[in-house]
Each structure stands twice: as C-alpha cells, then as structure tokens.
A and B are shown apart, each in its own frame.
Chain A
Amino acid sequence: MSDEAGGIAEEFLSEAAEIVEQLGGHLLRLEEQAKKGSLDPDIMNAAFRAAHSLKGIAGMFGADRVGALAHRLEDLLDGLRMGRVKPGPSVLDVLFEGVEALDALVAEVGKHTDAGDVETIAPRVASLMDKVTAILEERPPEKHDPLDDFDISSEVLEVLTEYEEQRLRENARTGANLYRVRVEFELSTFDEGLMALSGGLKKVGEVISTLPSGLPANETAIVFDILVGSPKDRSTVEAACEGFDVEIMPIERTKQPEVGASSSPAPMPEPMTGDDVSPSASGKKRPPTQVGAYSARVDEKSPAVEEADAALEAATGSEEYASLAAVARTVRVDISRLDELMNIVGELVLSKANLQRISDSLKSELGFRGVSVDLYKEARSLERRIDLLQKGVIEVRMVPLGQIFDKLSRMLRKMAREAGKDISFEVSGGETELDKLITEELSDPLMHIIRNSIDHGIEAAEVRSARGKPARGTIRLDAYQKGNHVTIEVSDDGAGLDEHAILRHGLERGLVGADQVKELSRRDILGLIFAPGFSTRQEVSGLSGRGVGMDVVKTNIGQLSGVIDVDSEFGVGSTFAMTLPITLAIIQGLIIRAAGQVFTVPLNSVIEILRIRQTEVRTVERQEVIDLRGSTVPLVRLGRLFGLQGSASEDEHIFVVIVGLAQNRLGVAVDQLLGQQDVVIKSLGRRLGNVRGIAGATDLGDNRTTLVVDVAALIEEVLERDLQVAAN
C-alpha cells in the first residue's frame, strides 16, 4: 500500500470512528428520551445527519460495506424523524446494533485485509440490514392525514420541507393549534428580533417554520410568517409575542381531531426545546418569485442583503448551514503534528531562557539603562507570549472525557444485556479534559474495570433483592480535575471485594508471606488484586475472561504516569480510582542532582521539599524511611535504586523531595536542587521506552540530555519492594 493510500485510510478511519461515536452518543440520548416518552427532534436530526455523513465519507473512500450499512441506518433514522417509523425499544436495539457493526466494519478497514473477520461480520451485517428493511416495510397503515383537518393553503404546504411538514402534521395530530404569526422587522436588526421572538414562541409551542414572506411596508423592512404549533390558546401565544408588532392568524381547524387516538406515535413534548426552526431558511425551496422580488427590492444594497441572508441563516438556525459551518470550524490534526509543534515550543522556551541569560549579563555589565533595558523588556514580552503559545498548544491537545464515556456507555449497555443484568450507568464529569493521547489509552483499562463490575461486581437481581438492594444495579463513572491531575472513578453498588478471600488467595499464590499478614493494612490486601497472576474467580466468562487481570490495567495506567487505587466494602460495592496527569507533553520540572547525575522530577507530583539531617533517616525492615509529621514515608536514593556509579553526598544534611500520587507518598533523597524549568518530555524511543522509573528525557538547553523520573513508577516499585520484603 502506498503512503498516499495509507494516509487516506488513516483520514477515513479517524473521521469515521468519530462519526460512529457521535451516532452512538445520540442514540444513548434518544434511548433516555424514549424512556420519558418523547424524542427530541434535534437529536433525531443529529443522528440522521451522522449516518448521512458517514455514508458520504464511506463513499468517498470506497468503504462500501460501511457505506451500505450507514445508508440503511440513515433510512431508518429518516423514517424515525419523519414519523414513518414508530420509535420503540426494538428499533433502538437495531440502531445500537448498527453502531456496533459500523464500529467493527470501520476497524476492519483499518486492518486492511483480515478475511477471518470479514466472515464473522458479514452475516451479522446482513441480518441487521434485513431487520432494518423489515422495520421500514412495516409501515403504519395509511391513515387519514391530520393536516386535512386544517385550512392550510397549498401555497404554504408547497414551500415546507418534508421535515417541516412532518412536524406540522405531528402538531396537528397531537391536537395542537396552529398559528401563523406575521411580523415585520427592520432589515438592519431583524436577526436579533427574529431570534428573540422565536425564543418567546418556543416557550409556548413549537416553531415549525420561518418563512420570509409578503411585501413589507417599506424597503428597509422584512416580513416573516412564522408557523407555530401550540397546545395553548391564542391569548397565550399573543402574550408570548409581547413587545413585538405581530399579527396572529390562527389556522382554522375544519374538523375536530381524533384526540387520544391510541395510534399516536412518539408523543412530542409540548414546549419544544432546542433550535429546530426552518431547516432551509435561505429560501432554497421558496417559490422563486418571492426570492426574486426580495432581492430586486434591495438590489442597490447588496452587501446589506448578503449580510441579511447570512444573519437570517444564523437567526433561523438553518440545518444545512449549521452543519456546514460546524465542519468548517473543526480541523482534524494528526496528534504527531501537535507533538512536533510542542517540540518547537520546547525549543523556543530554551531560546527564551538563553535570551534572558544574555539580558541579565548585559544588565550587570551596562547597568539597567539604554539597550539593556530594551532587551530586558523584549525578553519579558517574549516570555509572556511563549507562555501563551505553550498554553495554546496544550489546550489543543485536550479533549473532554465525555468522548470515551459515551463509548463506554454503549459497551456497558451491550455487556449488561449479554450478561442478563439490569444495570444503570451514571456518568458525571464528562466535560473534564485530558490530553488526547492519555484519553485514548484510557478506554481499555476503563472498559476492563467496567467489565469486571458487570461480571463479578453487580449481583444477579434475585441476590440483590435478597440483600435488600434495588434490583437494578448501578455503575458510576465520575471524573474530576484536581490541580494538574484528573481523577476518574468507577464505582458499583455490587458485591464488593472480599478481603479475606483476597488474602487467602494471595497467601496461596505466595504473593504475601503468612507471617506478614498482621502487618498488612486493608489497603495492602485490596491492592493484591493488582498483583500479576491474581484473579478472584476461577470461572472464565465471555465478558471478563480475556486472560488479562487487573495487573494489566495497573500497567496501562502506570504507562500514563498514573496510579490506580481500589476501595471496597464487602456487600456494598467497590470503587476504582485512577489519578492521571492532564498531559504528558510539557511539564514543569524540578531539576535535581543525585549520585552525580542530573534528573528532572515532574513538579506536578512534588508535594514538598525537606532538608533533613542524615541522622534523621531511620530504617524499618532494612528500608530507609523518614518521619513526615508523624507518618512514616519510605525514602529512596536514586543513585542506589538505579545502580549509578556516582557516590551520594556525604553532607550532614540532605534534601528530600516528597513526591506523591493519590494517597501514596515517597521521599526521594537528592544531593542538590538545581532549579525549576518547563520541559518537553521526549520518549526514549522503542529501544529504551520501557526502562522502569524513567519517563523520558529532556534537553535543558545546555546541550545535555537529562532523564525525567517517572514518579508513578518509582512509588509503585517501592510499594512492591515493601510487599516483597514483607513476604520474605
């Protein structure tokens, strides 16, 4: 495959995956709404558009299977939004299944050729397509058109889009009153006026369409007919138009509706939320004469007209334009380009530091006057701008966790169904932002924890009832930011972890020594589930029996410089908390020297720095510890831990950098503190990428490469060491 083809596939993959994800998110929202009995037309439209765009790009990139399925789903969603298909659990199930199949198909494109997978997906897709066809063919019996009950001029009906007509029909069916609200605005300010009026009308009903119409009284005005459906009477609608000079024309009902007809599908909410006015307000489908007359009238001020057109689109929220604009305002960028940018910013930071040094020495030579003042000022202003640039580049890398939370919700829905358990999934903090790279690496560990919760955590409904819990289990996903870290918690109200069973198991497997049991804290015992080879249940289910245990989860989190903790109460539930840095790309570093070598310690994990006497270092079980305000903190000497040649300082005093992640604390003995600096962490590459305790390297600007200490790994290592010591 040529590079170009590879690039195209890459582009398709990321875009398609994103759309499938969005579609899944919309469906989740629709499902929620369906439970409440009303579907938001905005979300239905968004879902329809997602399927439509996916079909489009699949066609562009020749991904025929994706395109075909997307097309089918698009039909189904179109039927749904046009009222041709009744929303119901079976339809949603088919749609969810469709999203899963699309996911698989897109992944298959990524793998290029994998005949085995094609074979397994193909029948699934085929049966899915049949289901869609079956639903679409199962049309509701042709009924009397509720619009016939109204005295609506065909002139109006002609200019409505199919969607608008459907909304009109839906309003008619539910027995709402229809009004035509005519309003005149000054051309220069009509957009604001229209928006305000629409807003007011939406509170009492649904704005079905906004049509520019009729001849205005003068050349600088524009007249609109707003089609409104509302269950309220005329005076309420009039009140909603308070402050506007409107003419309200009820559309007369010529027959009484068969209200309460049981066949009424998808009862719609009365006050419509969101912005679902005219999908093609730019006059695309309007009778040409009207448009012509309008433009002729204001010909001599064409810029104003353009502006007015643009404003009209904005004001009426034209669907097509809105989606085009959304596309135009988003740029898809390969994360490696951002890495490159970040590198350049890093080099800039170094140049800035050098410039400041020059400025300082000039200042000391010349005194603070003339050119030395100028240079100083310029250097300061450069510094501020580089700071902004750096922040900007970091922000670009940030994505909200909601993206993966949606994906997880979908997976959970599926897994719970497969496990035959009724589980509700609650999410908070989806807006919390993390570096894109970290977010991507998080979905696997989170998925694994959730899978464990479904499989081992949440009990069967009978067991739950017997234990006095609600039959429906709950899994919560919460994220929040704390300083430079983000904590993500997965909690369930399931069976919880059995400490005694864990300990017994740990003893059997030789993970702890029998004589040390007394010294293990509850946390130590719970932490055993992260030990390699540990698994609390022998049985292997289709859900979690993938041969990977919690140790893999821990390793994955560790590779992101994060830590994972577990807390659990037997019979009540468990909580897994992951603490991760917001970004790994650029950090504030504390520059230190230990055993003759310079290291950088990420400042975001430094809690405090102490200066203590060597004599204050005590040993417990041959491990060095120090006393930190009453609690005992293990102490490591980097030189000794890393087996470096250089000798530690013989000074009476040493510096101890206390580092911590979550509740863990560790003291790192260092010989010298050299300063603080922003550093860009660079990977050591594939050959050395896995050196334990080293997160990467950075250039401090003196042409020397400095290693960056991986604090999470160090803490990990010391905790493990203590456990081993305890076990021996």
Chain B
Amino acid sequence: MGKLKHTDPKSGPFEEETERAEPRDPLSEFFVDLEEEGTLRPASLLSAAGSEAFSHADGRRDDYLSFMLADEEYAVPITALREVVTPLPITEVPRTPSYVLGVVTLRGTVLPVLDLRIKLNLPVGESGQPSRIVVLETRDGPAGVWVDRVVEVVRVGGENIEPPPSVLGGGTDLLRGIIRRDGRMLIVLDLDAALWVEGQISDSEGVS
C-alpha cells in the first residue's frame, strides 16, 4: 500500500466539510505499511484516543471513518482509529463467541479481531471485496474489526447526528446514532459496547 503524504496542508482531505477525500486513495493516510514503522499516525490521532462525545454545542465538527459491513455503512470517530491494515493471518481462539475471529500480533501487541457482521446480525456474505482490519482504540484496549471495505472520512457536525431509531430491533445498544448525508445512512457505533466480548464460554465441549 503506497503512502501519500500531505505536503501542502491546505489540500488535505478535511479541508471542506462535504468534500470527499482525494478520490484515488482517500484513506492512504491511515493505511499502514507494516515494513515502515513510526510514520503511520496522522497528527490528529496522537492527541486523543477513545470514543469521544460527538456533539458540540459550539458547532464543532468531528471526523468519522466510514466502512462497509455487509451492505450497511458504519462510522466510528476517527479519534479512536489507530490504523488500518491489510488482513494478517488470524489465529483462532477457542472458547470465544463466534464473532471473535481470533487474534493477530501487530507490532508486538496481541489484539483480538472481531467480525461485527456476526455481532450485529448482518448477513455474512462472500467477502470478495478487498477486506481490511480497522484497528480501534477503546476503553478495553485496542481491537481489530474486520470490514468489507473502508469508504471514507467524513466531517459531521453534532446536529447532523440523529439518535438511533428504536425500530432497528436488536443491537441498538451498540449504536450511538445515525448520520444522514447525500442520501446515504451511516450508522455510528458505540465502540466500547460494540467491541466488547461477552463472558467467555468456559466449557465449549469440555465434558464429553
């Protein structure tokens, strides 16, 4: 994965609120070349991690990373984003819920990789797309989320985020709201809840 460096800050992808980032490779800034360390985090990520509140009374706007899970577009605060990596070999961990794909070692840290499609009861189709693992920082430490495709970074004002509709059925407690724009609907995840792993199955098949 090549790296684009924003030499001219004025032409950065976040210049205007509705601007889509540079068309060819909008997220290059977040993609990580595993061979090249130390250059992977945009300055905006160094200040704060964790899923912060997104509404600001003063009309401040926040950046969100959006990605596809099955056919739905989801968004997470970019402050929680650590990096995006191309899939690594995942080691299965027994006795964990089905949405835990396993663990990977990324620069010396072992992190779980979750398939939120399963957790959110979405159809798990063929992942013919060039999938990615989005590494997010949360209250419980870093975790990877397997996504079908990373879409873009959007800048949204707090007033444009609606509360999650109760009609969505199961799993609304994993959501923080909905962003509507350009006829699309982005579902904002509550990271701490969505990336939590329920108590492990202590005895999957222990007593045979």
What are the residues of chain A within 8 A of B93 when measuring CB–CB? 684, 688, 691, 694, 707
Interface residues in B93-148 (C-beta closer than 8 Å to A): 93-96, 100, 102-105, 108-112, 140-143
A620 CB, nearest partner CB in chain B, Å = 14
> When chains A and B are docked, how far (Å) is the Cα of A724 from the Cα of B203?
13
Q: Which 3 A-B pairs have the closest CB atoms?
A: A642-B94, A687-B197, A643-B205
What are the residues of chain B within 8 A of A417 when measuring CB–CB? none
**Is B206 in the interface zone, CB < 8 Å from A?**
yes
Q: Is B111 touching A597 in the complex (CB atoms < 8 A)?
A: no
**Is A347 in the interface zone, CB < 8 Å from B?**
yes
Q: Is B95 touching A684 in the complex (CB atoms < 8 A)?
A: no
A669 CB, nearest partner CB in chain B, Å = 14
**Is B39 in the interface zone, CB < 8 Å from A?**
no
Chain B residues packing against A (C-beta within 8 Å): 88-96, 100, 102-105, 108-112, 140-143, 195-197, 199-200, 202-208
Q: Is A697 touching B110 in the complex (CB atoms < 8 A)?
A: yes
**Is A705 in the interface zone, CB < 8 Å from B?**
yes
Known: A641-B206, A642-B205, A687-B197. 15 other contacts (CB 8 A): A642-B95, A644-B94, A683-B110, A687-B100, A687-B112, A687-B140, A688-B100, A691-B94, A697-B110, A705-B89, A705-B103, A705-B104, A705-B105, A707-B91, A725-B207
Q: Which of B88, B96, B141, B208 is A640 in contact with, Cβ under 8 Å? A: B208
> When chains A and B are docked, how far (Å) is the Cα of A699 from the Cα of B207?
31
Q: Is A685 touching B140 in the complex (CB atoms < 8 A)?
A: yes
What are the residues of chain A within 8 A of B100 when measuring CB–CB? 687-688
Interface residues in A676-722 (C-beta closer than 8 Å to B): 682-688, 690-694, 696-697, 699, 703-707, 717, 721
A486 CB, nearest partner CB in chain B, Å = 27
What are the residues of chain A within 8 A of B204 when measuring CB–CB? 642-643
Query: Which A-chain residue is minimally distant from B140 (CB atoms)?
Result: A686
Q: Which of B105, B141, B142 is A699 in contact with, Cβ under 8 Å? A: B105
Q: Is B207 touching A688 in the complex (CB atoms < 8 A)?
A: no
Interface centre among A346, A641, A687 (most CB of B within 10 A): A687
> When chains A and B are docked, how far (Å) is the Cα of A640 from the Cα of B89?
23
> When chains A and B are docked, how far (Å) is the Cα of A705 from the Cα of B96?
16
Q: Is A697 touching B205 in the complex (CB atoms < 8 A)?
A: no
B34 CB, nearest partner CB in chain A, Å = 9
Q: Is B112 touching A704 in the complex (CB atoms < 8 A)?
A: no
What are the residues of chain B within 8 A of A699 when measuring CB–CB? 105, 108
Q: Which of A622, A692, A706, A724 is B95 in contact with, Cβ under 8 Å? A: A692
> When chains A and B are docked, how far (Å) is the Cα of A717 from the Cα of B206?
8
What are the residues of chain B within 8 A of A347 when measuring CB–CB? 108
Report the interface size class on chain A. 20 to 34
Q: Is A703 touching B110 in the complex (CB atoms < 8 A)?
A: no
Q: Is A690 touching B94 in the complex (CB atoms < 8 A)?
A: no
Judged by DSSP, the binding face of B is loop
**Is A588 in the interface zone, CB < 8 Å from B?**
no
Interface centre among A347, A696, A699 (most CB of B within 10 A): A699
B135 CB, nearest partner CB in chain A, Å = 12
Interface residues in A543-569 (C-beta closer than 8 Å to B): none
Q: Is A724 touching B110 in the complex (CB atoms < 8 A)?
A: no
> When chains A and B are docked, how far (Å) is the Cα of A643 from the Cα of B88?
23
What are the residues of chain B within 8 A of A644 when measuring CB–CB? 92, 94
> When chains A and B are docked, how far (Å) is the Cα of A686 from the Cα of B103?
13
What are the residues of chain B within 8 A of A683 when measuring CB–CB? 110
> When chains A and B are docked, how far (Å) is the Cα of A704 from the Cα of B110?
11
A707 CB, nearest partner CB in chain B, Å = 6
Q: Is A682 touching B105 in the complex (CB atoms < 8 A)?
A: yes
Q: Is A685 touching B92 in the complex (CB atoms < 8 A)?
A: no
> When chains A and B are docked, how far (Å) is the Cα of A311 from the Cα of B94?
64
> When chains A and B are docked, how far (Å) is the Cα of A58 from the Cα of B93?
47
A-B contact pairs, 26 of them (CB 8 A): A346-B108, A622-B208, A640-B205, A640-B208, A641-B205, A643-B94, A643-B95, A683-B110, A684-B103, A684-B110, A684-B112, A687-B100, A687-B195, A687-B196, A688-B93, A688-B103, A691-B93, A691-B94, A691-B95, A692-B95, A692-B200, A692-B203, A704-B91, A705-B91, A705-B110, A717-B203
Provide the A72-107 mask, 1 if CB < 8 A to any CB of B, else 0.
000000000000000000000000000000000000
What are the residues of chain A within 8 A of B142 when measuring CB–CB? 685
Query: Which A-chain residue is minimally distant from B108 (CB atoms)?
Result: A343
> When chains A and B are docked, how far (Å) is the Cα of A697 from the Cα of B102?
11
> When chains A and B are docked, how far (Å) is the Cα of A690 from the Cα of B202?
9
B33 CB, nearest partner CB in chain A, Å = 15
Q: Is A685 touching B206 in the complex (CB atoms < 8 A)?
A: no
Interface centre among B94, B142, B204 (most CB of A within 10 A): B94
Q: Is B105 touching A688 in the complex (CB atoms < 8 A)?
A: no
> When chains A and B are docked, how far (Å) is the Cα of A696 from the Cα of B109?
11
> When chains A and B are docked, how far (Å) is the Cα of A692 from the Cα of B96?
10
A647 CB, nearest partner CB in chain B, Å = 15
Q: Is A693 touching B95 in the complex (CB atoms < 8 A)?
A: yes
> When chains A and B are docked, how far (Å) is the Cα of A346 from the Cα of B109?
12
Query: Which B-chain residue is minimally distant from A728 (CB atoms)?
Result: B207
> When chains A and B are docked, how far (Å) is the Cα of A622 from the Cα of B102?
31
Provide the A326-369 mask, 1 if CB < 8 A to any CB of B, else 0.
00000000000000000100110000000000000000000000
Q: Is B95 touching A721 in the complex (CB atoms < 8 A)?
A: no
A588 CB, nearest partner CB in chain B, Å = 19
What are the residues of chain A within 8 A of B110 when measuring CB–CB? 682-685, 696-697, 705
What are the residues of chain A within 8 A of B88 when measuring CB–CB? 703
B2 CB, nearest partner CB in chain A, Å = 21
Q: Which of A346, A687, A693, A724 is B207 in contact with, Cβ under 8 Å? A: A724
What are the residues of chain B within 8 A of A643 when measuring CB–CB? 94-95, 204-205
> When chains A and B are docked, how far (Å) is the Cα of A16 from the Cα of B197?
38
Q: Is B103 touching A697 in the complex (CB atoms < 8 A)?
A: yes
What are the residues of chain A within 8 A of B141 when measuring CB–CB? 685-687
Query: Which A-chain residue is minimally distant from B102 (CB atoms)?
Result: A705
What are the residues of chain B within 8 A of A693 when measuring CB–CB? 94-95
Q: Is A704 touching B89 in the complex (CB atoms < 8 A)?
A: yes
Query: Which A-chain residue is minimally distant from B198 (CB atoms)?
Result: A687
Q: Which of B89, B90, B112 is A685 in contact with, Cβ under 8 Å? A: B112
Query: Which A-chain residue is minimally distant from B91 (CB atoms)?
Result: A705
> When chains A and B are docked, how far (Å) is the Cα of A717 from the Cα of B203?
9
A63 CB, nearest partner CB in chain B, Å = 29
B109 CB, nearest partner CB in chain A, Å = 7
